[in-house]
Structure 1
């Protein structure tokens, strides 16, 4: 079978055991370093992609893309919705009333953001209806004072379906007994679980019930809008602001969660840059091992030159030998990285369960997300192979410059 001389000899040098065991150790460290760098890069970028996905789907799926607020309570939200309906960027519209208060149950107290919603239209602007663990969003009928609470709130307060929970509003009322906060009892008709910070913060009631509690019966505070492109929210909000006039103002998700989104993008970029140094260190190891190998093989190089091998052939021999190390390390690292990226969420959950700890409660999602994107894998593999190939050029050039007479003089 035909084999090019440079490839055949380079393959033999790769598989043969060096006389100097230190060279073999450096070569092994080079391959392992490259494998580790590629695997860590793939895993970390997958985790960053997972956080980015969770922010866009879970957090921004619950948070309003764009909201239109009336400076005064809005009497006819349907009419306002018709004024906005002609905009192609707007995908869905839903009314809202927001209240801040405390929920109490059996001596337990937790702060909550109470969202008054119209269940049917809320499904179109929010993902909460798709993440109901118990009950249905449609259970929030007007006048029945039902409440859908997040899983985190339910755990903190010890709530289950059908329990009575008391909402305490900060607005005080004057009674014969003095100044008293306002109370209202609700029945838990549903529990949602998005596995994000909103689980411990949000509760939902019917918009009519919320308006009554705000002493603005029959009105809403404004409209929540879902957009085709959430990144267009600032520009769409500015356009609506000018169209609706001074009686309304707009607010979009970039004011509440924009910094978090930018932080994740910056962290992804910085982690990629920093972890790339692992690949660079592995490349330096390849250079070191190749230089020492060239020194050890000076006699062999001289014999090959004497037999007619050209400097280009000698250079290609050592390029093949170094490139094979890079390919082996990159492929093993890719395999390990893909394996880790696709299983790291389960691994983190197993660690939490085994050691009875919560590693991610401080983050905006309470588990470790991961999303493997093959475009990232291809980019990382391409960069690693390029760096590995580039690391072989200098040692291979030195090998091609060996003079046969001088190398054989002391053999």
Structure 2
């Protein structure tokens, strides 16, 4: 005989045509509900992963994976620090920089973070050069007093390529009329767009030598690094900090943006918990199906008990059916959910084209397309949680079946 007996009878009950067709209907509805719940959770989690990945990509397109800085405004012996950083096998690129807060004036006035860069080294660290709308970073030559603006910043200032802006920095110089900020005119030679407001409307680039002269600095503010694995930034930062000594500080991209990425992770966790409640609604159908099945099989349960089946065996037989329904629902849900997440950007484009709508307008949102990034770890968690809920849903009906008294169940048979 097929062993174990509980699995054999449980599968036989599942395949058998029931006298009460309504039970079969509820069973099918349970599978459909569980599948739709899994599809919904996987799709939403994939979209959130897509938005998170897009934000990380765009932020890391303008900032470095790690940054070495000094104690003061400028670094001491920065060529030594640059040499040590470049000798690390995990460092793919290194570039010195100067960052100053400045007030820019064109036809209008706006504050911005001005970053002095070396145009020959900057592409090894970030990819702003790949997001240029007008001009090139190579135009930022020493002594040219040229400037590249974020596209939104240029719009706020009311300037375009070929115009001039005046930069005022907080470095004060003494005059007969008192201290006044240091000012200098710059020629706009390019604009860029990163798709992130903090960069497009708040960042300007100049040559590093021009920035040092304007702010009376003797060296760069720090060194920006690009690593072979951005998720390995902290161990590499600790290693560099030990080599450089205490006069330098090494920070990583996740430390500089800790609040943002922590908020994204918390939002994803909360959304997962909320959407998991959909599964609870779906398994209510599973409980109803099993309760009706227990009532329908009272006579069979009584006969099995008289033949020597233990309450534990009876409980296992009905748990097999509930778990099987859950597994079938999970299987369909995972398969269709993964397929939908994979094809979602294309499906959204088709819907936008057919109905002439746009879900994410580029005038409002910096990410104009619905992104989707399937993470199999998330899929595994969704499947595990759904299976756990399905298993828990079988416990009470199976327990009720195990409590059946043979004499009472067979009294009117």
- TM-score range, shorter-chain basis? 0.7 to 0.9
Return the offset for 1:355: 7.9
- Do the aligned partners of 2:345 and 2:370 also contact (CA within 8 Å) in 1? yes
Alignment CA distance shift 1:28-1:6 (3 Å): closer
- Do the aligned partners of 2:140 and 2:146 also contact (CA within 8 Å) in 1? yes
Q: What is the TM-score of this pair, normalised by structure 2?
A: 0.76
Secondary structure at the residue paired with 1:392? helix
User: Which residue in the other structure is 2:21 paired with?
Assistant: 17
2: CA distance between counterparts of 1:80 and 1:383?
Answer: 49
- Do the aligned partners of 1:151 and 1:191 also contact (CA within 8 Å) in 2? yes
Alignment CA distance shift 1:133-1:14 (3 Å): farther
Secondary structure at the residue paired with 1:223? strand
After superposition, residues 263-274 of structure 1 pair within 5 angstroms as 263-274=263-274
2: CA distance between counterparts of 1:298 and 1:395?
Answer: 12
Query: What do residues 54-75 of structure 1 show as CA deviations (whole Å, max 9, x unaligned)?
Result: 4543323422312223636458
User: Which residue in the other structure is 2:210 paired with?
Assistant: 209
User: Which residue in the other structure is 1:391 paired with?
Assistant: 393
Residue 326 (structure 1) aligned with residue 326 (structure 2): yes
User: Which residue in the other structure is 1:145 paired with?
Assistant: 145
Return the offset for 1:203: 2.0
2: CA distance between counterparts of 1:74 and 1:402?
Answer: 81
Return the offset for 1:258: 1.9
Query: What do residues 386-406 of structure 1 show as CA deviations (whole Å, max 9, x unaligned)?
Result: 432443244234335534542
Residue 66 (structure 1) aligned with residue 71 (structure 2): no
Alignment CA distance shift 1:214-1:391 (3 Å): same
Residue 169 (structure 1) aligned with residue 168 (structure 2): yes
Q: What is the TM-score of this pair, normalised by structure 1?
A: 0.77
Q: State how many pairs are aligned.
A: 396
- Do the aligned partners of 1:170 and 1:181 also contact (CA within 8 Å) in 2? yes
2: CA distance between counterparts of 1:400 and 1:72?
Answer: 76
- Do the aligned partners of 1:103 and 1:165 also contact (CA within 8 Å) in 2? no
User: Which residue in the other structure is 1:342 paired with?
Assistant: 342
- Do the aligned partners of 1:102 and 1:169 also contact (CA within 8 Å) in 2? yes
User: Which residue in the other structure is 1:378 paired with?
Assistant: 380
Residue 402 (structure 1) aligned with residue 404 (structure 2): yes
Return the offset for 1:115: 1.0
After superposition, residues 74-113 of structure 1 pair within 5 angstroms as 77-105=78-106, 107-113=107-113
Deviates more, 1:335-344 or 1:206-215: 335-344
Alignment CA distance shift 1:97-1:285 (3 Å): same
- Do the aligned partners of 1:94 and 1:125 also contact (CA within 8 Å) in 2? yes
Return the offset for 1:94: 0.8
2: CA distance between counterparts of 1:253 and 1:328?
Answer: 43
User: Which residue in the other structure is 1:239 paired with?
Assistant: 242
- Do the aligned partners of 1:140 and 1:189 also contact (CA within 8 Å) in 2? no
Return the offset for 1:369: 4.2
1: CA distance between counterparts of 2:17 and 2:134?
Answer: 65
- Do the aligned partners of 1:58 and 1:127 also contact (CA within 8 Å) in 2? no
2: CA distance between counterparts of 1:177 and 1:68?
Answer: 36
Alignment CA distance shift 1:151-1:63 (3 Å): same
RMSD of the TM alignment (CA)? 4.1
1: CA distance between counterparts of 2:137 and 2:197?
Answer: 18
- Do the aligned partners of 1:195 and 1:367 also contact (CA within 8 Å) in 2? no
Unmatched runs of 5 consecutive residues or more in structure 2: none
1: CA distance between counterparts of 2:110 and 2:196?
Answer: 18
1: CA distance between counterparts of 2:189 and 2:19?
Answer: 69
Alignment CA distance shift 1:184-1:270 (3 Å): same
Unmatched runs of 5 consecutive residues or more in structure 1: none
Query: What do residues 235-266 of structure 1 show as CA deviations (whole Å, max 9, x unaligned)?
Result: 246425525x4xx5555445531222333334
2: CA distance between counterparts of 1:89 and 1:372?
Answer: 28
- Do the aligned partners of 1:134 and 1:192 also contact (CA within 8 Å) in 2? no
